[in-house]
Amino acid sequence: MKKMITTVEIWTEGGMFTAYCPELDVVSCGHTQDGAKKNLGEVIEIQLEETARLGTLKDFLTEAGYVVEDEVLETEKKIVGFGELSISVEAL
């Protein structure tokens, strides 16, 4: 069985936590950070199972930047940091 490494972005909004995987463009939520992350993992597993059932799993992973031949599936895209950027909006 291969292992997949993904990025998880987590933010809070309206009392809920949202977890997002940018490589696969998949999102989920939960009442806690851990819950949102766990739910995201389940959504990704379902996505992978469904694309495998449809026969498009390798295409899906390749389009997301994963090298399918490796034992551990990783992408070359790596997030190196997050920050805030202040931009003036004169039109408002």
Q: How many separate domains does the chain show?
A: 1
Predicted pLDDT of residue 9: 92
Would 81 be classed as within a structural domain?
no
Q: Is residue 82 domain-resident?
A: no
Count how many Cα atoms sit within 13 Å of the Cα of residue 14 in the half-sphere of its side chain. Answer: 3
Residue 91 in any domain: the answer is: no
Any domain includes 89: no
pLDDT in tens, the chain (92 residues): 788 889 899 999 899 999 999 999 999 999 999 999 999 999 999 999 999 999 999 999 999 988 877 777 878 777 788 788 889 998 87
pLDDT value for 49: 95
Q: Which domain does 17 fall in, by range? A: 3-73
Q: Which residue matches tokens 């026969």?
A: 55
Q: Return the pLDDT at 10.
A: 94
Rounded CA-CA distance 17/85 in Å is: 22
- The CATH number that applies at residue 18 is 3.30.160
pTM: 0.81
